Amino acid sequence: MGDNIKRELVKLLVTKFGFDPLSLKDIVWVTDQGANVVNALRSYTRLDCMGHVLNTVLRHGLDNDALMQVAPDFAETVTASKALVRYVKQSGMTAQLSMTILHMVDTHFSTVYLTLKSISDIYTELQDKLEARGESDRIEKITPDTLGMLVSFLKPFYGSQRELEGDKYPTLHLALLWVARLRHHCQQNANDTAQLAAVRQRHVHWLQEKRAKSVTDLHKAATFLWPKFNQLRMLPADQRVNVQQYVKSRLSAAQQPVPEGPGEASQETSASLSAAAPAPAAKKTQRFDEWENVFGVGKTESEEDEVDSYVRQRPTMTNDQDLLGWWKTNSSVYPKLAQLARQVLCVPSSSSSSSSERVFSAAGRTIEERRTRLSPSTVDALLFLHDAL
């Protein structure tokens, strides 16, 4: 099965998109952990989709049977919340509520947070309306305290998945930072109840299990290429050295300029596009403050190579999402690193299912009963414009 998938992918890239067969080895694939796909891409560079990895962590961490053994109140809250959402939708109560409570999708564990938060936001209103119907037993197992703890615990997971699935800005450099932040978030707190401590322990175990396999040298190099975090203070000292050596080896291997090909604009084209497109909205990186760079006195620039000089750089980034813009501005100072940054930061951290779902939704609104004769090329153009505008 894996060989068949590989054959079809190569055929598609070469015949339809015009890729040079020799350039396929330079492609970085971002996929889920399905065995057939992993097998098909075994001869290429493949990264785990971080959105899928975090979804897997939540799936294991919130496994109902395991949770019942160590945190029964939390397990009952999740189960009762699912049942409550079904009842509200089937009974017609939705129209009577000031806010909609959201459905929990079993395969998308980020929706657990959305469902629990939507119930928490109108908990008193739901309780009153259920009491008026004589159905108060439907919310009895959803206690406000446990509900609040679950919402607070799951919020950073939801935020990380949303940011890592972004498709309007680079995301690969965020993967290491978010995994480190979530591991810190899952450390036990002195004020935790025994059940909340058990929930944290389950999640930190699965984060550690998945991080070891999913956060690669390429992810770490991407974080290194974020000037505010190029000292990699979230990593042990030996790993920081290893990342710098990895980056230096990549620079040494790049003896020739990377040829322009499909999907990769030249520097001139990038410049014209940057001039035409609005800059991303400024966004400060407060969630990772503890790992920002700290500077001391080091070597003079004449004693350093480009990587060493960059590590001592005192960045003045006003827009944390415009990382490629920073490298474009500083390409004359760090020409080799700027070229590497363009290659690395164009790789997404997630094979975003949410982006695909948005495209399918737009396609459903484009191809409807009154527009059934649109040609494939016209639909392609409309969807492209819908996504780009």
Could you tell me the residue range of the domain that residue 27 belongs to? 1-48
User: How many domains is the chain partitioned into structurally?
Assistant: 4
Q: Is a pLDDT exceeding 70 seen at residue 52?
A: yes
pLDDT the model gives residue 199: 96
* 206 and 60 belong to one structural domain: yes
380-386, Cβ contacts within 8 angstroms, sequence gap of 24 or more: 383/359, 386/362
* 31 and 111 belong to one structural domain: no
* 60 and 161 belong to one structural domain: yes
* 222 and 340 belong to one structural domain: yes
Q: Is a pLDDT exceeding 50 seen at residue 263?
A: no
Distances, alpha carbon 138 to alpha carbons 35, 75, 105, 114, in Å = 41, 15, 20, 19
pLDDT, greater one: 315 or 129: 129
Q: Where among 182, 210, 238 does a domain terminate? A: 210
Give the mean pLDDT of 250-256: 78
Burial class (CB in 10 A: 0-12, 13-18, 19+), 197: middle
pLDDT the model gives residue 139: 95
* 93 and 151 belong to one structural domain: yes
* 59 and 146 belong to one structural domain: yes
**Structural domain contains residue 285:** no
* 86 and 176 belong to one structural domain: yes
**Structural domain contains residue 188:** yes
**Structural domain contains residue 276:** no
pLDDT the model gives residue 66: 95
Displacement of CA 361 from its chain's centroid (Å): 21
* 169 and 129 belong to one structural domain: yes
Distance, CA of 211 to CA of 10 (rounded, Å):
30
**Structural domain contains residue 66:** yes
Highest mean pLDDT among 164-178, 252-266, 350-364: 164-178
Q: Considering the entire predicted model, what is its pTM?
A: 0.80
* 69 and 159 belong to one structural domain: yes
**Structural domain contains residue 319:** yes
* 174 and 239 belong to one structural domain: no
Percent of the chain with pLDDT over 70: 86
The beta strand positions in the chain, using DSSP E, are: 28-31, 45-48
What distance separates the 2 farthest-apart alpha carbons in the chain? 79
**Structural domain contains residue 186:** yes
**Structural domain contains residue 130:** yes
* 235 and 315 belong to one structural domain: yes
In sequence order, the 6+-apart residues with CB closer than 8 A to the CB of 337 are 225, 247, 251, 306, 307, 310, 327
**Structural domain contains residue 301:** no
* 199 and 224 belong to one structural domain: no
